[in-house]
Amino acid sequence: MLEETKKFLSGPLGSFINNQWLTDEEGERFEVTDPCTAEPIAKVRRASAVELDSAVEAADKAFPAWSALPANERAIYLHRIADALEKNFDTIAEIETLDVGKTIENTKGFDIPFGVECIRYFADLSMSLPTDTPLAIKAMEARIHRVPYGVCGFIFPWNFPYNLLLWGIVPALAAGNTVVVKPAELTPLSTLFFAKLAEEAGLPAGVLNVVTGSGREVGEAMCNHKKIKRMSFTGSSFVGKKIGEACGRNLIPCKLELGGKGAAVVFEDADLDLAAEQLSAAITFNTGQVCCTATRWIVQESVVETFTDKVTSLLKSVKLGHGLKAETGMGPLASEKQRQTVVDYLAKGEAEGATAVLKGECVTPEGCEQGYFMTPSLLKGDTENICFKEEIFGPSAYLTTFTDEADAMEQVHSIDYGLANSVFTADLERANRVADNMACGNNWINAHNVFAYGLPYGGVNLSGLGGGVNSPETYYDYLRPQTVARPL
């Protein structure tokens, strides 16, 4: 571990409100553990609803001055934070790896640079997109004028704490809103380190606030706070429905980025080596704890045996180990609770008649005897199986076969998730036809997990509502439209 990482983790750590750290030793604290070893790596002060209220008040007080700044001046602050992240690249990569259990290759190769790019993208976008749109209406001078909402509340999950934080709050800040963040108790560390860097970069007090409490207390208080003007939640569909209900009762606009059960349709003319490579990587990336990953593999009957041989060979070759080791190909599940969830699902799937093509097993890599590791698994069966229908959130996929395009599409649409699907075929006309007709927020051709700034990303049905991320549409999500009209 780097000395800077050790220094940060040694604390004290707690909520960040109005550019003040609430880290006193008297309050209740919770431990954050390394899922590779199950050993504690930090202690964080557990916040209450009282602290949440203080954070909202601070954000509300800071809003008028922050929103009044020209977009280019807000962008300066954001670019300074991006500079600080780049300067501390290795440290935040280690913190994210230790907190989540993912590999250092993933954090350094994807998470951290993609997050920095997010900041620069929205900072620059805010200076180029208009906030006024003229309307062509007879005998009238009229326009849509867009203004920031005010205080925006964010609740984030534990699987991608750093990237999801930036995907959420950066467009809101760039648009002139102030924010209050509740990170997951399981993985709050990179969020707190980001707040530290934002403070050092000179971000004005109250613009960014982080409250390190439980969802039951702090999350509920956030959803019901009258000064929260826009809510965003990323997480499970089950919890998302409850947050949507709470926001609905208070008429707070709510953005929900929820779970998925992605389908990958593999036609007989597909490049099977490519399909196997993409789909094996999809369920091992972040140990399968990715809402948009492809976990339903719908393969044409004539090539299922060949595809299965190729993909199982790749999955068997994945090297498990501590995330900080360069040779590690897949880390642990984020917690013992999540590992047990995966174990239970696989048992239920087999009990309902699925065949274990590749059996998932709990293992203990050298030096990680207490970690939450599990090998990749692949089940094969019918579409009525629980493992075909429900999100497992682990390194596991479910294989079915199809006869023709209509059969494949029926399987794709047999469940209500709609976050990210893919189609593999050499026939681009068919690829586009299938992609156009899959009811899903994101449909990819001959690839899976494709992300780029400017490429909208969001879900439908059980996978979410209220807009997506990574695009100009995201920026406008955090600006409230109002009309201005003058009769001529």
Stated pTM of the model: 0.96
β partners of residue 313: none
For the question of residue 257 being annotated catalytic, the response is yes
C-alpha–C-alpha distance, residues 278 and 306, integer Å = 15
Q: Which helix (H) or strand (E) holds 155?
A: strand 151-155
Task: Give the tokens for residue 441.
Answer: 């927020």
Catalytic site residue 223? no
The stretches in the chain having pLDDT less than 50 are: none
* pLDDT value of position 245: 94
- Give the model's pLDDT for residue 24: 74
Give the separation between CA 181 and CA 198, rounded to whole angstroms.
14
pLDDT value of position 468: 79
* Catalytic residue from among 57, 94, 96, 257: 257
Per-residue pLDDT at 306: 98
Q: What are phi and psi of 132, to 5 degrees?
A: -125, 135
pLDDT of residue 25: 67
Environment class of 177 (CB within 10 Å of its CB; exposed 0-12, middle 13-18, buried 19+): buried
How many Å separate Cα 128 from the centre of its chain?
26
Number of other residues whose CB lies within 10 A of the CB of residue 43: 18
- Given 152, 223, 254, 291, the catalytic residue: 291
In the prediction, which pLDDT does 26 show?
A: 66
Residue 215: what pLDDT? Answer: 87
Largest CA distance in the chain: 78
Residue 182 near residue 213 (C-beta atoms within 8 A) = yes
